[in-house]
Amino acid sequence: MKVELISKTVGVGKYSELGNSEVVAAIARHGAIKEDNGKLVRYLMNHKHWSPLQHISFGFRIETRRSISAQIFRHRSLNGQEWSLRYAEPLGFEDIDVRKEHPTNRQSSTDSFNPIIGYTPASDLIDRHIEESELLYNDLIEAGVAKECARDILPLCTKTTIHITGTLRDLLGLLNVRMEKGTQKEFRDIANLIGEELEKELPEVFSKIEWKNGMFM
């Protein structure tokens, strides 16, 4: 898993020398450029005045697994692109952290464990399944099967690379939902890394809000 900031809005004209929070503040002031911009942006966020936050954007390159990329693309306000297995070879497989089902929330999990299934640890069975899936995929390709068909037998832990771009407003919406404890851990880890990158870009804003609990919006 990896998250990398690859692009961001760059101001032009009188905005060319401004930082991200300064651009947001200037938009909120209808073009006026003043001091103490961080305070104004925090006010906008805390009072849910979102429209000025829609005018700066950030793009990220994310390395994850296909089960998580599918969840990321459910945030339809983001623009996204994914490594296509119709044309390219699989990038490998991510390790699966096997966790217990949450006692009260069947969509969530708790601690890692390695149950015995039959007489075999679950981790060994998972490794065997992934290996056999990869071997079958390669056999299908060698037999002339199209990649767009052969890919269907690959497990959801197959590695993928995606690119997403969204406004600050859209990305805050993602953090708000995906930093909550009910989110799958792997997605929550990605949201945390996105938040850390945004904090580097707008430190005077993110250092003053409790964004890591997913409840600031």
- Which positions ≥6 away from 126 have C-beta within 8 Å? 96, 98
Q: Which two tokens stand for residue 131?
A: 């290996």
Three-state DSSP class for residue 200: helix
Q: Is 169 among the catalytic positions? A: no
Alpha helices (H) along 2-110? 20-28, 37-46, 66-72
Residue 120 half-sphere exposure toward CB, CA atoms < 13 A: 8
> What single-letter amino acid sits at 100?
K
- Stated as kind and residue range, the H or E segment containing 129 is helix 122-142
The whole-angstrom separation of Cα 41 and Cα 39 is: 6
Strand partners, 158: 93
Catalytic residues: 178
